[in-house]
Amino acid sequence: MRKVYIEPSLLSADFVNLARDIRMCEEGGADLLHLDIMDGCFVPNITIGQPVVKAIRQVSNLPLVCHLMIVHPERYIEDFVDAGADYISIHCEGQHHINRTLESIKSYGKFCGLALNPGTPIEFAFENAEICDFILLMSVNPGFGGQTFITSFLKRAERLKDFLLKNNLENVLIEVDGGIKIDNVQDVVRAGADMIVSGSGLFNGNLLENIEKMRKKIQEVIT
Ligand code: DX5
Ligand code: ZN
């Protein structure tokens, strides 16, 4: 049976009570934790770095997915591996040699992912899919939580899914990030998503209830 992962983005968590919110994600049955690393250069915002990832690692056994929204991600792969990342995604727009950086993540035995901004040709994903464990398609422009889902995005996910199936690359997972809420998650899953990132859609309101509602919506589509 198809498995779809729920991946809360801690960017929308209460940072004063981060450990509590992480525990709630676990209790609610989240599959992964999404950590947004922003440098104020690749994106206009600055968030967290390795020390916070390391602290999160100490309070959770859930796999940590580090979404690096930074220029020159190749310089920091080892740091995030040491901090406890299990999955690392790097943007193809981030001024580095894509293949070399993906190989570097793999060399540490971690899951590597290539991330694409909404305006980036989907062919970047096609060209690099073979080496990737997952491909992150942004459904908002990266930098902030709480933005509106770009609906034209769904066609991109469908094209990628189709490409993966036709090329025997069905093991490469599609992660979708940005603007996903309980009321549009089914469209995203139908378009082929395997890893659902959601920040404000889960943390605004009752986190436990929201995870459960999202899980139900997903189940309706995949069963
Ligand atoms: C945006 C980040 C997202 C963000 C998603 O640049 O990559 O992970 O936290 O937040 P929502 O789900 O609120 O759009
Ligand atoms: Zn993200």
What are the sequence ranges of the domains in the chain? 5-222
Q: Give the C-alpha separation, 172 to 216, whole Å.
A: 24
Ligand 1 atom index nearest CA of 202: 12
The answer to whether 88 and 81 have CB atoms below 8 angstroms apart is yes
Q: Give the C-alpha separation, 178 to 67, whole Å.
A: 12
Is 36 a known active-site residue?
yes
Strands 5-8 and 33-38 turn out to be: unpaired
CATH number of 5-222: 3.20.20.70
Q: How far is the CA of 222 from the centre of ligand 1 (A)?
A: 24
**Residue 159 CB partners (closer than 8 Å, separation 6+):** 122
Tens of pLDDT, residue by residue over 78-109, are 999 999 999 999 999 998 899 999 999 999 99
Q: How far is the CA of 148 from the centre of ligand 2 (A)?
A: 14
Q: For residue 108, which amino acid is it?
A: Y
Structure tokens at 112: 């590597």
Residues with Cβ within 6 A of ligand 1?
9, 11-12, 34, 36, 67, 140, 142-147, 177-180, 197-201
Q: Give the C-alpha separation, 109 to 124, whole Å.
A: 23
Tens of pLDDT, residue by residue over 165-201, are 999 999 999 999 999 999 999 999 999 999 999 999 9
Tens of pLDDT, residue by residue over 52-69, are 999 999 999 999 999 999
